[in-house]
Amino acid sequence: MSEHDRLELRGLKLDWSPLHTEQALARVQGRLLRRKRGLQAAIASGALLSLISIGVLSVRNQDERASTAVTTPGARAPLKLGDGSVLIATSEATELRVVEETPSRVQVELARGAVRCQVTPNPERAFVVQTGAVSVTVVGTEFVVERRGPSAWVSVTRGKVRVSWGDGEAGHAFVSAGESGLYPPEKSAALASEPGIVPAQPSGAGVDEPAPAELARQASQRYRSHVARRDYSGAFAALSHDPALAGDSVEELLVAADVARLSNHPAHAVPYLQRILREHARDERAPMAAFTLGRTLSGLGRAREAMSTFASMRSTWPASPFGEDALVRQTEAAAKLGDRGAAARLAEQYDREYPKGRRRAEVRRYAGLE
């Protein structure tokens, strides 16, 4: 996304719903503004290195491959993921990014070019390749995805994949070994469903196909317009058609996460929040992103990941005003997992760190101490 198309975020309020969290957010934002110059000097001198915990470092090291977006056959060896799956660029223009890699889900974003995916079978893990509005979901197989404008060419060598580009039965297809095709089947129909986009015309139709740059500009304008009007459903639809609209800055990623959460697609917010922690760990808004990530994971029923996220947030930013809330949520996650021992230890830690804490009764209830 160009500087011209950067989102104007001042009018957008991020929604951390509990009142105490909103108050803490307001306090930390005011404090950060007052200490901005001192913080910049500390960054320059390297003083902030002490704030980065082993947990965050390990995440950044594990996902360092995701920071390199461009992968080409002549310049880089096949990319091997933690579960043993392998991504192989099959065109000189291939550009891809691993946006999420957890035990339950791997998501790869293909911006252009083509990639061959050799996916390790695992019925407990979803493996998704997203390219524009098209997503390819597998459990274990070998297939090729090539981005062709807003569409995707999918060819399956082994196994079976599910290709999705919309809602309902008409918005997906299954492709088995030996089969291939372009999805969605009618590109112009998919484009025509979005206002402001001129659909591509077949050859010889007498209308020139819009250049990719013009299509990107129109998509960016539409997305920004939805966000400005707080039309989160419309913004999410635009973002689903073109994931690159999410951008790369902290502001843009926070907005993309809010668009997903406030349009009732919280699972799609997770990769954006993870990218902030992976790519912008030193940013002053990273603790807020970490806390929001933990809350989102908890709401999705991913209690173990939520518990780990809250623990990492507290150890990485011990002075954050979100620390008390994070400890409460960490105790709650331990209770959801049925780990009463961990919940009791966390309750004792809460008593030590917040002897006059207003949420002591809540913590003790999670730990089964009342």
pLDDT of 108 higher than 70: yes
Domain match, 176 and 142 both: yes
CATH code (residue 350): 1.25.40.10
Sheet strand arrangement including 180-183:
79-80, 86-89, 114-118, 142-148, 151-158, 180-183
pLDDT of 7 higher than 50: no
Residues with Cβ within 8 Å of 184's Cβ and at least 6 positions away in sequence, in order, are: 133, 134, 151, 165, 166, 171, 190
Q: Is residue 220 part of a domain?
A: no
For residue 184, say if its preceding peptide bond is cis, omega within 30 degrees of 0.
yes
**Cα gap 152→137, rounded to integer Å:** 13
pLDDT score of 79 = 86
Domain match, 75 and 41 both: no
Domain match, 73 and 46 both: no
Domain match, 11 and 76 both: no
**Cα gap 366→335, rounded to integer Å:** 6
pTM, whole model, 2 decimals? Answer: 0.49
**Cα gap 364→319, rounded to integer Å:** 23
* Total structural domains within the chain: 2
Range of the domain at 285: 6-51+248-254+264-370
Domain match, 45 and 76 both: no
Percent of the chain with pLDDT over 90: 24
The confidence band for 206, taking pLDDT boundaries of 50, 70 and 90, is: very low
Read off the tokens for 168: 């309902």
pLDDT tens column, 139-169: 567 788 888 778 888 888 777 888 888 766 6
CATH code (residue 185): 2.60.120.1440
pLDDT of 222 higher than 80: yes
pLDDT of 346 higher than 80: yes
